[in-house]
A and B are shown apart, each in its own frame.
Chain A
Amino acid sequence: DTGVSQDPRHKITKRGQNVTFRCDPISEHNRLYWYRQTLGQGPEFLTYFQNEAQLEKSRLLSDRFSAERPKGSFSTLEIQRTEQGDSAMYLCASSSDRGEQYFGPGTRLTVT
């Protein structure tokens, strides 16, 4: 399977804990995106990497959120001191330059 993969698929955590998600893009894609989707809504953009450079961050991305793509391949999204409002589906997508974005299956986060 050469699609976008995400790990874990589900995460349940207690409020105040830190969580980290991983995304592996399609291997030849140099662009990687993170989105967040809450129930009944469309995905909302969080941040974007071109190779290892983080080029854009949404205002939705508070200082508790950090994303990295250290070698321009996989990416991690960390949420520190989780809050109940962080409960959502976190989606990763990748694309080539000027190509369409292909999405992974998402990581569903539940903060209790």
Chain B
Amino acid sequence: AQKVTQAQTEISVVEKEDVTLDCVYETRDTTYYLFWYKQPPSGELVFLIRRNSFDEQNEISGRYSWNFQKSTSSFNFTITASQVVDSAVYFCALSEAEIYNQGGKLIFGQGTELSVKP
């Protein structure tokens, strides 16, 4: 069965601190995709990143970086120099590969609520 675990329910940091959100996944598929979404207080899920299981290179986008390690089944997300606007719930998600019209539904973790205080 597929499963995503975000063990950190809430994290609180002070502005300009770095913060890492953990994500551990389980799947029997050899080909899969991993995602991070942001859900600000307004409620709309915002896509941040998608990685496929064959690409273990770390990725950096501005203050955001992602560390994918297949050996530990982890896909962690780091925000450098956090800002108040980063306050949101962050979800990690897993999608199986495309097989015979299977649509790649997302399996979400429970989310980590990040609070960045000024």
Contact = CB atoms under 8 A, between A and B. Distances in A.
Interface of A: 31, 33, 35, 40-45, 48, 50, 55-56, 89, 91, 93, 95, 98, 100-106
Contacts of A56: 102-103, 105
B110 interface: yes
Interface string B19-61: 0000000000000000101000011111100100000000000
B107 interface: yes
Contacts of A95: 104
A42 B103 contact: no
24 contacts: A33-B106, A35-B106, A40-B110, A41-B110, A42-B4, A43-B45, A43-B106, A44-B108, A45-B106, A50-B101, A50-B103, A89-B43, A93-B45, A95-B104, A98-B104, A100-B35, A101-B47, A103-B37, A103-B44, A104-B44, A105-B42, A105-B44, A106-B43, A106-B44
B interface, over-half SS: loop
A66 to B, nearest CB: 18
B66 interface: no
Nearest to B108: A42
- Most interface-central of A31, A100, A105 (chain B CB within 10 A): A100
Interface of B: 4, 35, 37, 42-47, 50, 91, 93, 98, 101-111
Given A100-B35, A103-B44, A105-B43, A42 B109 contact: yes
Given A40-B110, A103-B46, A106-B44, 18 more contacts: A31-B103, A31-B104, A33-B105, A33-B106, A35-B106, A41-B111, A42-B91, A43-B91, A43-B108, A45-B107, A93-B106, A100-B35, A100-B47, A100-B50, A101-B47, A101-B106, A105-B43, A106-B43
A102 B43 CA distance: 13
Q: List the 10 closest A-B pairs by CB distance, nearest first.
A: A42-B108, A103-B45, A48-B103, A45-B105, A105-B44, A100-B50, A43-B108, A100-B47, A42-B91, A42-B110
A34 to B, nearest CB: 10
- Most interface-central of A42, A50, A91 (chain B CB within 10 A): A42
